[in-house]
Amino acid sequence: MVAKSQRLYSIGHGMAIDQKTTQERVSNIENDSENRMSQFHAWLGIASAGGIVSLSSFAGGSPDPDYTFAQLVPSYICFLFGIIAAAAVVYSLSLSRSKFAEHIACSSNREIANEAIQSIPVIMSYPRSMTEGANGSRDELISKSQRFHDLAERSWSAHRRWSIVSSMSVAISALAFVLGFLWPIYVVVFTEKGLIP
């Protein structure tokens, strides 16, 4: 996965191409995609909550509410799992994006440190004791670069883990809603009990 505006590459060697318009279009498409996905996540939670409200209203209007409610318990459970999973999507996606932003920042700091390291010449002599401390600033930058590298790798791994959790939560929430919706139909069509005694 790469950051926005990093998905476009130069063509040829040293060829100057104005990519501003294309980058803006890519950014707009990505923003629109994220907005639609956020709306889908919200819809999953709202749909499951609406399913619980609708079933409760239906059961309350039944001649025998206790009987109808008992037949609809699997749907209630599915919708409840759908709401919990939808909330997990928002939470895990937020953490995933936070870790991705941390990865980008650490990677950028690492590159800055590496460029600074390359600009400082290595002082060498024999015996080595004569140059002790002479490369101190360079060694410090190397240490910082390594720390930024380690942080970038850890944040990337965390980003990937939370991204997987988010995708799994979306699938669970969608499946739970579908099952909760289909259960009453199954009871009415394929069982002799029905929803109303």
What would the pLDDT profile of 70-85 be if each residue is shown by its tens digit?
999 999 999 999 999 9
Q: What is the pLDDT of residue 36?
A: 84
Amino acid at 40: F
Give the tens place of pLDDT for each residue, 14-59.
444 456 777 777 677 877 877 888 888 889 999 999 999 999 999 9
Mean pLDDT within 138-161: 92
Query: On the CB side of 154, how many CA atoms lie within 13 Å of its CA?
Result: 7
End-to-end distance of the chain based on CA atoms, in angstroms? 55
Q: How far apart are CA 34 and CA 28, in angstroms?
A: 10
pLDDT in tens, 161-171: 999 999 999 99
pLDDT of 32: 80
The conformational region for residue 176 under phi > 0 = left, psi -120 to 50 = alpha, else beta, is alpha
